[in-house]
Structure 1
Amino acid sequence: MAKYVLEDFTDGRIFDLPSYAVERDEIIAFAQEYDPQPFHLDEAAGKASMLGGLSASGWHVCGMMMRMICDAYLLESTSQGSGGIDYIDWKSPVRPGDTLTGTSTVLASRTSSSKPHLGLVTIRTEIRNQRGETAAACEHLLLCLTRKGYEEGAAA
């Protein structure tokens, strides 16, 4: 049973994201596979860069943020996917040993005019490190079923 349907994503609602501990080995493993720039692979190269030390790829940060969103509310929702991300800003480096936390805030929510069983929710998500520095922020679109659509077993 879904905990969150469209009607639960009211304008201004804030979802607290669970914390996420960032580990050195996962930063390097992600970089080796997907973003092998030296400052994501090696401490010395990171220190020599404008990042000032080994740091996670921005794409890895997006993955961590997604995990936090899933654990906070998405997996308990009637999510039908996403219509996209309007923007992503990487504000400060994410480093080994950081603990990320954050919030997702509902900016707008409406029922689809062409599919009345489906809703569109615009959300702003921000994640911060343990020092309170914003690591990343984005706005994204969530597609989810209305209560009636969920109860009737509708699909997007």
Structure 2
Amino acid sequence: MRRSGDPVRFEGIEPGTTTHCGSTTVTENEIVEFAERYDPLAIHTDPAAAAESRFGGLIASGYHTLCLSVRLLVEGVRNERAVVGGLGIDDVRWHRPVEPGDAITVRTEILDTRPSESDPNTGIVHEAITVTNQREETVLSYENYELLARRE
């Protein structure tokens, strides 16, 4: 859902800006449902097998954590931007497992911006995304490249 007002265009994005994009609590049911559909390893779907693993219980798929982070990014900042599309993500790292009951929080920092060389109507925003749990431990980090519309 887009918030009221004009969307933030490329020129309105400042390098160095940090934004907290909210948090969500991950439930065991969500972990199992996501994993059964997209990443059906026993450590994500079978509590008994997961209890015997090095993790001692169910953990969320890293891809589930990544998807949750994107949702929080959209709600926190992307709905306000004049997003044309995503260009890719780099350096995806899962630092710690996400367990049932963990509350994950997303923060984005604008690393740099540059006008697109191939399309003068757009610009590229490069940002670092950090996802932490309720103990402020980093569980996921990555860099994102996003294409935004420029002012006319």
TM-score category (smaller protein):
over 0.9
* TM-score, normalising length: structure 1: 0.90
- Give the distance between the partners of 1:2 and 1:68, measured in 2 at CA: 21
Contact 2:73 2:106 in 1 (8 A): no
Matches within 5 A, 1:63-102: 63-102=67-106
Aligned pair count? Answer: 148
Extract structure 1 runs of 4+ deviating beyond 6 A: none
Amino acid aligned to 2:114: R
Task: State the Cα distance separating 1:114 from its structure 2 match.
Answer: 2.4
- Residue number in structure 1 paired with 2:119: 115
- Residue number in structure 1 paired with 2:10: 6
- Residue number in structure 1 paired with 2:144: 140
- Give the distance between the partners of 1:98 and 1:142, measured in 2 at CA: 28
- Give the distance between the partners of 1:53 and 1:85, measured in 2 at CA: 29
- Give the distance between the partners of 1:60 and 1:97, measured in 2 at CA: 14
Gaps of at least 5 residues in structure 2 are none
Over the aligned positions, Cα root-mean-square deviation in angstroms equals: 1.2
3-state SS of paired residue (1:17): strand
Candidates 17, 40, 57, aligned match of 2:44 = 40
Contact 1:15 1:103 in 2 (8 A): yes
Amino acid aligned to 1:76: E
- Give the distance between the partners of 1:36 and 1:114, measured in 2 at CA: 40
Amino acid aligned to 1:34: Y
- Residue number in structure 2 paired with 1:51: 55
Amino acid aligned to 2:125: V
Contact 1:4 1:73 in 2 (8 A): no
Task: State the Cα distance separating 1:147 from its structure 2 match.
Answer: 2.3
Candidates 9, 18, 24, aligned match of 2:22 = 18
Amino acid aligned to 2:25: A
Sequence identity percentage: 34
Task: State the Cα distance separating 1:55 from its structure 2 match.
Answer: 0.7
Gaps of at least 5 residues in structure 1 are 149-156
Deviations, residues 8-40 of structure 1 (Å, cap 9, x unaligned) = 221111111111111111110001101110000
3-state SS of paired residue (1:147): coil
